[in-house]
Structure 1
Amino acid sequence: MAQEREEMEEAVSGTRRGLLQGAGLATALALLGGAMTPAQAAEGGAFPAHKRWKIVFVNHVTTNPFFVPTQYGIQDACAMFGMDYQWTGSANADVSEMVNALNSAVAAKADAIAVPIVDPNAFNAPIQKALDAGIPVFAYNADAPAGKSNPRLAYIGQDLYLSGYQMGERIASMIDSGLVALFIATPGQLNIQPRLDGAKDAIKKSGKNIDAQQIATGATVNEELSKIKSFYLGHQDLKGMFAVDAGSTQGVAEVMKESNLKSKGVHGGGFDLLPRTVQLIHEGVLDFTIDQQPYVQGFYTVLEAFVFLASGGLVGPANINTGLKFVTKDTVEPYLNTSTRYEGKSTKAQIVPHSGAIKS
């Protein structure tokens, strides 16, 4: 009897799965003769049982607040797809530490690896070694320069040069001449250097008499603030202060507020949505920041790895541009009025209701 009952339950379960996958939801519910909650409907997934794959995320600034929503995106995608992850790498943009972490993931036989390619050459051989071992590798947040031979399968992140170029165009639209400081945490690293290069190219192309100077700030928020403050004190005639990374942007905002630079005609802006940056845009201290959606840089990377592994490598790798959105005082309200994992301001998993017209 017990065996017959198990066989019957398995048959019913199989019928339920087949109906949910092969029929419309309403039809399936009618045939099954009962109501189903939204949560139950979501659990009727299309994928069969699988190994709990582990993806190792190597990072260049593991404790930087920018990557808090990225880690939430990783966690949420892993929960959805039944995967595990590890967050490792370097706390201060040490490429050798990142390479060691990548090699350790290969030695530990990770099922997939994700890494920001912040150096044009250092990751080529380690990534090839991983691929030779049958481990798919995806780049996120930073990618190898066009034309380089890095063998990663796909890149998930912002078009970095284009985002910098558009920032440079905006700078040139606000400032006609004079000194403009362009702050960068770690010069040469491929997650931010292309932005600065794009900004300088756009400013140069504008033909305006703008003296755009590059200033290195460092890999930690406190160091960045100190360097920005020091530069301003030595160049109080500047016309603009802009940054190409999250920590430096927050530092620019802090110095702008402390010295009341907006009232002196100084413009400022940068990248990313650290809570302090968002607040100071709301107060009118900064002109803008640029959202590159760090949450989906984690979520989409796990998604691509899962699909690759689930399909035996037949599908999955595809470059994804995570976007470019200028956030100004006129558009900052939604960022202030919500506190979610999607922007790294809350640990709570939640569905955020949307109301009103959708703005592109």
Structure 2
Amino acid sequence: MANRIKLPAPGGVGRRGVVQAAALGVSLGASLAASQAVLGVRPARAALPAHPRFRLVFVNHVTTNPFFTATQYGIQDAAELVGADTQWTGSENSIAAEMISAINAAIAAKASAIAVSLVDPHAFNEPVARALAAGIPVFAYNADAPAGSGNKRLAYIGQDLFKAGQMMGQRILDLVPGGRVALLIATPGQLNIQPRIDGAQDVLRKSGRSYQIDIVATGATVNEELSKVKAYYLGHQDVKGLFSVDGGTTQCVAETMEQYGLAAKGVRGGGFDLLPRTLHLIDAGHLDFTIDQQPYLQGFYTVMEMYAYLVSGGLVGPAEINTGLKFVTKGTVAPYLATKTRYEGSSSAAQLIARSGAIQS
């Protein structure tokens, strides 16, 4: 157990004594932290206030999707730090009614806090309002209801999806000077991906260049997505670029590029997320980029914000948190392939990953 320094009660000693005692506490705390770092010991939670064991419920739209493996690891790691229990629930197939049932169950069980992936602009307004009325704070993660939707969630933690789409649009400008460009999306209208395609179109249309933009819906399963991507290419062989806004379709774009040798023909391609097949095909030169939307942080940061809000009685937060993005290219993909980690969802092992070389922005 971590050492504790008990300061005298106010009035028991002079100001100088209090300052000396506080300084001693800081010194011992620093020494303890240093020794823990040397020994590889996890820091104790002694600095955190005593609190009930919070129960944090995460309601997800695709509970078994491998993208969220890293998110669940982030949830687990943060919950261990702050002393909380978590539940992962929702729908396997993005069915709003199933997600609402999960929210209702969390309210009935008096969850400490709820996090919801708000993939529909209005479906979750009423259950979120009921949770808040019951005194349960609700946060959005991964997907957020648009401004003006009426949803009263306290904060959103996740990628700025429209901005991410704009950044992909800027990358498309660099890769494709003009002509036919396909923007591919698994499920149009779904709020975890639709803002990206909107952002990409915004940049392309404002560029002043001559683009013919085709919006292609690919479907919710990989087999369906692959057939739709191939069919699109075979029917539009004048296309200059294939760019996806979701992980499954991105993998299918890469596989189509590989099958038909499109990179060698000058066709450019890119998309989102870190499916292993996508990363290998970037390394092989078949896909120009994918975007890492930091799924681990979407879980970790949400738990930390829930905890801070709960333990402070609502005084700390809520705050919007943009988990950002990283472009992964042939020049930067090697670390993703070389190391299996829980931070990218490729391993369950908790480990310190040593970094070497220059830091790339």
Tell me whether the two structures share a fold, i.e. TM-score over 0.5. Answer: yes
Counterpart CA distance in 2 for 1:177 and 1:302 is: 44
Distance in 1, matches of 2:341 and 2:46, equals 26
Q: 1-side partners of 2:29 and 2:133: how far apart?
A: 47
Q: Which amino acid aligns with 2:167?
A: Q
1:104-253 matches, within 5 Å, as 104-253=105-254
CA contact (8 A) 1:20 1:28 kept: no
C-alpha deviation, 1:234, in angstroms: 2.3
Code of the aligned partner of 1:22: G
Checking the alignment, whether the CA contact within 8 Å between 1:110 and 1:135 is kept in structure 2 is yes
Deviations 1:330-360 (A, max 9, x none): 1222212211000111111111112222222
Which has the higher mean CA deviation after the structures are superposed, 331-340 or 220-229? 220-229
Tell me how far 1:90 sits from its aligned partner.
1.4
Secondary structure in structure 2 of the residue aligned to 1:24: helix
Question: Which stretches in structure 1 are left out of the alignment for 5+ residues?
Answer: 1-9, 30-34
Is contact 1:272–1:291 with CA below 8 Å preserved after alignment?
yes
1:4 match: none
Q: For 1:61-140, what aligned pairs fall within 5 Å after superposition?
A: 61-140=62-141
Whole-Å separation in 1 of the counterparts to 2:281 and 2:304: 34
Deviations, residues 308-330 of structure 1 (Å, cap 9, x unaligned): 11112221311111012211111
Cα distance per residue 1:97-123 (max 9 Å; x no partner): 222221221122111111111111111
Q: Could you say what the CA RMSD is over the residues aligned between the two structures, in angstroms? A: 2.5
Matched residues in 1 for 2:23 and 2:58: separation? 34
Between 173-182 and 72-81, report the one with greater CA deviation.
173-182
Match of 1:7 in 2: none
Q: Shift of residue 41 of structure 1?
A: 6.7
Query: 300-309 or 95-104, which moves further after superposition?
Result: 95-104
* Cα distance between partner residues in 1 of 2:52 and 2:3: 21
Question: Aligned residue for 2:16?
Answer: none
Worse overlay, 203-212 or 124-133: 203-212
Q: In structure 2, how many angstroms separate the alpha carbons of the residues matched to 1:20 and 1:271?
A: 49
What corresponds to 1:3 in structure 2? none
Q: Is the 8 A contact 1:56 1:110 kept in 2?
A: yes
Q: What is the one-letter code of the residue matched to 1:251?
A: C
Does structure 2 conserve the Cα–Cα contact (< 8 Å) formed by 1:20 and 1:44?
no
- Residues 120, 21 of structure 1: CA spacing in aligned structure 2 closer, same or farther, 3 A cutoff? farther
**Distance (Å, rounded) in 2 between the aligned partners of 1:14 and 1:261:** 64
Contact 2:292/2:327 (8 A) holds in 1: yes
Q: Give yes or no for the alignment of 1:336 onto 2:343.
A: no
Alpha-carbon distance change, 25 to 358 in structure 1, aligned in 2, over 3 angstroms: farther
Give the 3-state SS of the residue equivalent to 1:166 in structure 2: helix
1-structure distance, mates of 2:116, 2:235: 38
Query: Which of the pair is proportionally richer in helix?
Result: 1
Moved more, 294-303 or 232-241: 232-241
Residue 26 of structure 2 is matched in structure 1 by 23
The residue aligned with 1:304 is 305
In structure 2, the partner of 1:52 is 53
CA distance in 2, matches of 1:285, 1:89: 36
- Name the SS of the counterpart of 1:51 in structure 2: coil
- C-alpha deviations, 1:287-319, integer Å up to 9, x for none? 111111000000100111111111122213111
Task: State the SS of the aligned residue for 1:57.
Answer: strand
| CA distance 1:27–1:314, change in 2 (3 Å) | closer
Choose 16-25 or 335-344, whichever is displaced more: 16-25
The amino acid of 2:284's aligned partner reads E
Shift of residue 245 of structure 1? Answer: 0.9
Q: 1:354 to 1:27 in 2, by over 3 A?
A: closer
1:73/1:298 contact within 8 Å kept: yes
Residues 61, 95 of structure 2: 8 Å contact kept:
yes
Distance 2:23 2:227 in 1: 58
Which secondary structure state, in structure 2, belongs to the residue aligned with residue 342 of structure 1? coil
What SS does structure 1 have at the residue aligned with 2:114? strand
Deviation at 1:74, TM superposition (A): 0.8
Aligned-partner SS, 1:353: coil
Output the TM-score relative to the length of structure 1: 0.89
Quote the offset at 1:261 in angstroms.
Answer: 1.0
SS in 1 for 2:121: coil
Structure 1 residues 123 and 213, CA gap change in structure 2 (3 angstroms): same
Q: Flag the 1:127–1:21 CA change in 2: closer, same or farther, 3 A.
A: farther
Cα drift, residue 27 of structure 1: 6.6
Paired amino acid for 1:316 = G
Checking the alignment, whether the CA contact within 8 Å between 2:263 and 2:286 is kept in structure 1 is yes
Aligned counterparts of 2:190 and 2:55: Cα–Cα separation in 1: 27
SS in 2 for 1:173: helix
Range with greater deviation from structure 2 (243-252 or 90-99)? 90-99
Cα deviations across residues 66-102 of structure 1 (Å, max 9, x unaligned)? 1111111111111222111111111122222222221
Partner of 1:316: 317
Matched residues in 2 for 1:337 and 1:189: separation? 33
Paired letter, 1:358: I
